[in-house]
Amino acid sequence: MTPVKTGIAELPLHSGHAPIWLIEKMKKLADAIVSVIVDSYDTGEFLRRVSDPLWFQSFGCVLGFDWHSSGLTTVVTGVLRDSLNLDKHGVMVAGGKGLKSKRTPDELRSTLISYGFDEGMVEYLLRASRLSAKVDNALVQDGYELYHHTIFIDEKGKWAVVQQGMNVSEGYARRYHWLGEAVKNFVVEPHSSIVSDGVSSVVLNMTSRKCEDARKVSVDLVCESPSKLIRMFNNLNKQESLTRWLDEGTDAMVIEKTPAYLRMPKTINWNLLRKVYELKPRNYEELVEIRGVGPSTVRALALIATLIFGAEIDWRDPVKYSFAVGGKDGVPYPVSRRTMDEVTNFLREMIEAAELEKASKIEALKRLARAEQTTVLEFAGD
């Protein structure tokens, strides 16, 4: 195999906005390409593509955005939100950045009901939107706070989620991809992919299969008398250094300087846990779904589960695709050249089949070629 040059591509946070003229061109191109995908395959294929980080990134480049910019996520999802609808494409997009993400439930309910979705399906999709955001904000504690949430829904009720978090101190973003048809359990390794500029040294990943016992113990704890739970937590605060709850195999420097997002709270919301006790959740998914159960509560329960009951905690970063090191040294795994070729060929076929002016097709194909060249130069493949 011919040696391939390697390098690093990062996702820095960029300020400013894409110009209106570019957004309008992107909308037209997105409309045309998605129409071809749906007509040639089906809406499910489009959702599967959206949940693939390499395809999503390449698609953004084809539309006219920079490969390495974190803004690609918000702009591409925004363009798709404005371009797609259930009448023409069989796919709708809800949510967005900041306040738009908070309005997602109301937007979903009104739109889905207007299109004849029954109440059961509406509630299911609202739950998918709510839980996917809750998991990435509370169960995957990696230092990236969610600020963008978008859900894609087709006419059959299938869904995909693309959301992004920001690490303010580092100035970088991390994107989380979900594909509904692949989610068996919202709290057990539910992501189709997590893409980042790099791999964090320590992350509290309560979605890991290794945390099964810790999840079960957490549920048992909240179903116990709250007074007993208070005594356990207070005793740990008095007797244990809160950095000791990190695994013994974790690097000493990391333990000494526990990341801010993993520091244990001095106290927790006991009124909330009294409410949880009354609700008696049957499993971890029901527990984290309760309004008010957030990162601090999850960490406190994990602390008790591991230090008192010996439950295992997984501190490995669950990132599945890294622009910074994915192809450079195979961590978390090498980027497949075969996959990149498939993505390129697929997009090329869709562009050529799209109803676009010749000049627009040529420009889109040129951008795809530049994106392909970028990935070849920056990632070593198999």
pLDDT confidence band for 265 (50 / 70 / 90): confident
The answer, yes or no, to whether residue 269 has pLDDT greater than 50, is yes
Per-residue pLDDT at 379: 41
221 and 293 share one domain: yes
The per-residue pLDDT of the chain, averaged, comes to 85
The CA distances from residue 238 to 24, 128, 224, 234, in Å, are: 60, 39, 21, 6
Q: How far is CA 47 from CA 35, 38, 121, 239, 258, in A?
A: 13, 10, 18, 50, 38
If asked whether residues 121 and 51 sit together in one domain, one would say yes
Of 307, 333, 351, which residue is a domain's last? 307
Domain closes at, from 279, 307, 335:
307
Residue 141, beta-bridge partner list: 204
Identify the residue with better confidence: 181 or 371. Answer: 181
pLDDT digits (tens, 9 = 90+) for 340-382: 788 889 999 999 999 998 999 999 999 888 877 765 444 433 3
Question: Has residue 352 been placed in a domain?
Answer: yes
Residue 245 shares a structural domain with residue 367 = no
Residue 240 belongs to some domain of the structure: yes
Do residues 58 and 178 share a domain? Answer: yes
| H or E segment to which residue 238 belongs | helix 226-239
Q: H or E segment at 176?
A: strand 172-179
Among the residue ranges 162-176, 236-250, 263-277, 285-299, the one predicted with the least confidence is 236-250
Do 261 and 325 belong to one domain? no
Place of tokens 């509406």: 122
Binning pLDDT at 50, 70 and 90, where does residue 322 land? low
Task: Measure Cα distances from 374 to 26, 57, 59, 97 in Å.
Answer: 21, 12, 14, 28
Q: 363 with 342, same domain?
A: yes
Give every strand in the sheet of 91-97, ordered side by side: 91-97, 145-154, 159-167, 172-179, 193-196, 321-322
In a domain, 8, yes or no: no
Domain enclosing residue 250, as ranges: 209-307
10 domain-assigned: no
Domain count of the fold of the chain: 2
In a domain, 258, yes or no: yes
Question: pTM, whole model, 2 decimals?
Answer: 0.87
pLDDT band at 50 (very low <50, low <70, confident <90, very high): very high
One domain, residues 121 and 264: no
How far is Cα 259 from Cα 292, in angstroms, rounded to an integer?
Answer: 23
Cα separation, 215 vs 283, whole angstroms: 8
With CA atoms as reference, report the closest residue to 188 among 281, 318, 294: 318
Q: Give the pLDDT band (50/70/90) at residue 197.
A: confident
Kindly report the backbone phi and psi dihedral angles of residue 88, in degrees, each rounded to the nearest multiple of 5, phi listed first: -90, -45
CA distance 323 to 326: 6
For residue range 245-260, list pLDDT tens digits in order. Answer: 665 555 554 555 678 7
H or E stretch including 165? strand 159-167
Looking at the structure, tell me whether residues 135 and 236 fall in a common domain: no
Task: Give residue 96's region: left, alpha or beta (phi > 0; psi -120 to 50).
Answer: left
pLDDT on residue 331: 45
Here the tokens at position 277 are: 């006790």
> Given the structure tokens 């990062």, which residue do they identify?
10
Three-state SS at 158: coil
Residue 327 pLDDT: 36
Distance of CA 367 to the CA centre of its chain: 26
From CA 79, how far away is CA 247, in angstroms rounded? 43
Residue 184 and residue 107 share a domain: yes
Tell me, yes or no, whether 261 and 281 share the same domain.
yes
- Do residues 222 and 196 both lie within one domain? no
More confident residue, 18 or 182: 182
143 assigned to some structural domain: yes
How far is the CA of 39 from the CAs of 34, 131, 258, in angstroms? 8, 31, 51
* Residue 165: per-residue pLDDT: 94
Of 307, 329, 361, the domain-final residue? 307
Instruction: Judge whether 330 lies within some domain.
Output: yes
- The answer to whether residue 314 is domain-embedded is no
Copy the structure tokens of residue 243. 């950095």
Tell me what pLDDT residue 222 has: 96
In a shared domain, residues 132 and 277:
no
Following DSSP, what letter does each residue of 57-123 receive, concatenated?
HHHHHHHT--SS-THHHHHHHHHHHHH--TTTTSEEEEEEETHHHHTHHHHHHHHHHHTT--HHHHH
